[in-house]
Structure 1
Amino acid sequence: MPQVTVLPHAELCPEGQRFEVKPGASLCEALLKHCVAIEHACDMVAACATCHVLIRSGGDTLAEPDDDENDQLDNAWGLEACSRLACCVKLKDGDITVALPRHSRNHAREK
């Protein structure tokens, strides 16, 4: 099973995390299941870019982003070449390392 490594993030995952997921699982759902409170304002339908993540390694094991994901990524804060929307990423057989951006597009974040 693929392993997801989440790099430390001061608010969402201070210690970092590592967990296994089944191939085909949604990265966003896997993060939430493992208590990484990533934002997903559009309820994971690729319409808001609040679940923006940075795939630091293993991105070559994932499917390329489709046009809808690329359109939404244009609205993400801190966009990089390795940027993806967690709701669009389906894990395959390879391990990935994920960094969570410092800021989110959701300026009205509810606690």
Structure 2
Amino acid sequence: MLRVLGQRLLSRASPSHAPRFFHASAAALHGDMSKFANNPTVHIKFKLRDDSIKEVEAKTGMSILDVAHANDIDLEGACESSMACSTCHVILEDPVFDELEEACEDEEDMLDMAFGLTDTSRLGCQVFVTEDFEGTTVMLPKATRNFYVDGHVPKPH
């Protein structure tokens, strides 16, 4: 009955005066890390762009991008982990890099656009923490390439 009434209202309303229907359901939280709460914890160091080191705790299963955002580390992730940019480019230590599965072709295509590409470069959104990461250092490149031209500095999501 309500659906029919709503359709009648919408069919009579002009586009600028169409009624709006709101829902009271809870929104899904973007970046909710509670699903990792029971996973083992490892300690990771981030070498920041100013060469300082920040040691953080990370749960296995989290992406490096998630770990960075959860710890206020300036790793952008402009495409929100959809592999459409290279702003979450990180440089890994050899032992950890060697244990990872190879990057897929889409990731390699995005890495081709990354600033400061190295042999151990990966996208932080595609690298997931394992117990092998214990004590490793993840290095941030000195810069990223983004398409902002107006001076806008995005914040992590």
For the aligned residue pairs, the C-alpha RMSD in angstroms reads: 1.7
> Which has the larger share of helix?
2
1:78 to 102, 108, 116: 116
Q: Which has the higher contact order (CA 8 A, sep 6+)?
A: 1
Query: What residue ranges of structure 2 are gaps of 5+ in the alignment?
Result: 1-40
SS in 1 for 2:127: coil
Q: Quick one: percent identity of the two aligned structures?
A: 32
User: Within 2, Cα distance between the matches of 1:75 and 1:33?
Assistant: 26
Give the structure 2 partner of residue 69 of structure 1. 107
Shift of 1:107: 5.2
Matched, 1:52 2:89: yes
- The superposition leaves residues 58-104 of structure 1 with CA deviations (integer Å, 9 ceiling, x where unpaired) of 22233321221111111111111010000111111112311111111
Q: Which amino acid aligns with 1:6?
A: F
Q: Say how many residue pairs are matched.
A: 108
User: Within 2, Cα distance between the matches of 1:107 and 1:98?
Assistant: 24
Alpha carbons 1:7, 1:17 under 8 Å: kept: yes
Scaled by the length of structure 2, the TM-score of the pair is: 0.62
Scaled by the length of structure 1, the TM-score of the pair is: 0.85
Runs of 4 or more, structure 1, over 3 Å off, are none
